[in-house]
């Protein structure tokens, strides 16, 4: 039986990369005072209807929603920010601190056409800086994203930024954009035709070459921004310049979620692949109030882990811990001696593997060599009768016989010898 289309088993030889990403991200985020939060994958459907927007592709086409046995409308979370906002409100985190820096890593679910780097169950690493309207918060999250990506060996990337203003400014711009596109409606690609009526801003995201040519002469959103929006964006750009973070202003960059305002940004890999956005985010000052909480300006981003792993696997250096001790036994069912040894190994926190294959001792020794163990503890019939263990150092083939009563001191010696 195969997994569901758009889902994937993460196998043991792949998990090490996920663990490495978690390790690097948590170290950098903890250093920057971000604390991890974990929210349920199940949420009320209303949460996403109120936050993401009725006319977005996610709500209209991509959400996994159903009614449970209590006839409640439930959705598997399609993104993380709305869930964090809901948790912030329901747990009254605003009473504990004015500024909350949070990060998360977990699975999301969208009914999309599966392709390389895109699954229906996918994973995101995300951060949210909640409680500051200052442009410096935008810079903080962008800087952290770049720091994580660089640490994960992503060398060729570009940062694209834009200001999408506030709701009032976007309404004025949307009206002008529709007026301009009206005469080209029949020339637009099919997706853009569908968006023209309900969500014309998303036409700016179109990958269709002809549609992009039409947009080249369209009104620009920046022309409709007023003083506050322009000032915020100018400060973001100035700070990026001071930090020597290279960026491009992309006046067609519109994030696909309704809750964004002011700064929007994407970090892209420099490849010809259409799916080259590795990180996307922006500011969302009204979302928490919109969901019933207090006015709480915020900014954040999310990184797609499947796409990230796909482009960094070859470069990530994974130091795999080898099993130091391999326990080979001709009679694994005679477990008294074995568990005494294992308890002692546990005491000194050494890694080990107990052979439970029922193969011959020679074959077990061969396995110990193949997996790179340093030492093999051999427990055959003679060892059991005479209460000793044969210790074989595999690199030198040196063998010793150690009485069971002295095994504690010998394992302690192994621990010390590995440190030197």
173 assigned ligand-binding residue: no
Last residue of a domain, one of 291, 312, 333: 312
Q: Are residues 297 and 353 in the same domain?
A: no
Q: Are residues 297 and 339 in the same domain?
A: no
169 assigned ligand-binding residue: no
- As given in the structure block, the two tokens for residue 195 are 């968006």
Mean pLDDT (the chain, rounded): 89
53 assigned ligand-binding residue: no
Q: Are residues 338 and 276 in the same domain?
A: no
Q: How many domains does one find in the chain?
A: 2
What's the domain range around 337?
Answer: 325-419
Residue range 346-392, pLDDT digits in tens: 999 999 999 988 889 899 999 999 998 999 999 988 888 888 899 99
Give CA–CA dist 127/109, Å, rounded. 18
Q: Flag whether 67 is in a domain.
A: yes
160 assigned ligand-binding residue: no
For 326-356, letters b (16+ CB in 10 Å) and e give: bbbbbebeeeebbeebbebbeeeebebbbbe
184 assigned ligand-binding residue: no
Q: Flag whether 294 is in a domain.
A: yes
Give CA–CA dist 255/257, Å, rounded. 6
Q: Which of 55-64, 204-213, 243-252 has the highest mean pLDDT?
A: 243-252
Q: Are residues 22 and 144 in the same domain?
A: yes
Give the burial class of 127: count Cβ atoms within 10 A of its Cβ; 0-12 exposed, 13-18 middle, 19 or more buried.
buried
Q: Is the dihedral of CA 7, 9, 14, 19 positive or negative?
A: positive
247 contacts 162 by C-beta, under 8 angstroms: no
Q: Are residues 335 and 299 in the same domain?
A: no
| Percent share of the chain, pLDDT over 90 | 55
22 assigned ligand-binding residue: no
120 assigned ligand-binding residue: no
Q: Are residues 286 and 333 in the same domain?
A: no
Residue range 255-308, pLDDT digits in tens: 766 788 899 999 998 765 555 889 999 999 999 999 999 999 999 999 999 989
Q: Are residues 241 and 390 in the same domain?
A: no
Q: Are residues 269 and 148 in the same domain?
A: yes
DSSP bridge partners of 248: 160
80 assigned ligand-binding residue: yes
Give CA–CA dist 323/342, Å, rounded. 13
């Amino acid at each position: 039986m195969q997994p569901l289309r758009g889902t994937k088993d993460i196998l043991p030889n792949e998990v090490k990369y996920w663990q490495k990403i978690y390790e690097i991200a948590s170290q950098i985020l903890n250093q920057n005072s971000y604390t991890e939060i974990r929210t349920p994958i199940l949420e009320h459907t209303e949460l996403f209807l109120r936050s993401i927007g009725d006319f977005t592709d996610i709500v209209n086409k991509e959400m996994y929603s159903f009614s449970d046995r209590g006839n409640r409308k439930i959705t598997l979370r399609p993104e993380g920010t709305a869930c964090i906002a809901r948790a912030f409100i329901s747990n009254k985190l605003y009473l504990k601190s004015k500024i909350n820096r949070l990060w998360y890593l977990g699975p999301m679910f969208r009914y999309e056409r599966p392709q390389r780097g895109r699954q229906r169950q996918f994973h995101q690493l995300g951060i949210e800086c909640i409680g500051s309207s200052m442009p410096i918060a935008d810079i903080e999250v962008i800087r952290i994203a770049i720091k994580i990506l660089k640490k994960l060996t992503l060398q060729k990337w570009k940062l694209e930024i834009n200001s999408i203003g506030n709701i009032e400014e976007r309404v004025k711009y949307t009206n002008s954009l529709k007026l301009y596109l009206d005469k080209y409606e029949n020339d637009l690609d099919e997706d853009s035709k569908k968006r023209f009526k309900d969500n014309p801003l998303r036409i700016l995201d179109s990958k269709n070459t002809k549609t992009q040519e039409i947009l080249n002469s369209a009104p620009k959103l920046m022309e409709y921004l007023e003083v506050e929006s322009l000032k915020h964006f100018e400060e973001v750009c100035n700070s990026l310049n001071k930090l020597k973070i290279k960026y491009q202003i992309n006046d067609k960059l519109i994030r696909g979620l309704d809750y964004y305002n002011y700064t929007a940004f994407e970090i892209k890999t420099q490849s010809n692949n259409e799916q080259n956005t590795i990180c996307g985010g922006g500011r969302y000052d009204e979302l928490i109030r919109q969901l019933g909480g207090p006015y709480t300006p915020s900014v954040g981003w999310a990184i797609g882990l499947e796409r990230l792993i796909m482009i960094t696997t070859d470069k990530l250096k994974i130091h795999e811990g080898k099993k130091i001790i391999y326990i080979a036994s001709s009679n694994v069912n005679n477990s008294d001696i074995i568990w005494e040894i294992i308890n002692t190994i546990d005491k000194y926190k050494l890694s080990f593997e107990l052979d439970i294959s029922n193969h011959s001792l020679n074959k077990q020794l061969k396995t110990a060599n193949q997996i790179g163990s340093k030492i093999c503890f051999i427990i055959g019939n003679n060892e059991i009768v005479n209460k000793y263990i044969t210790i074989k150092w595999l690199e030198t083939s040196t063998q010793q016989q150690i009485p069971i009563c002295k095994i504690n001191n010998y394992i302690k010696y192994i621990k010390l010898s590995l440190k030197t």
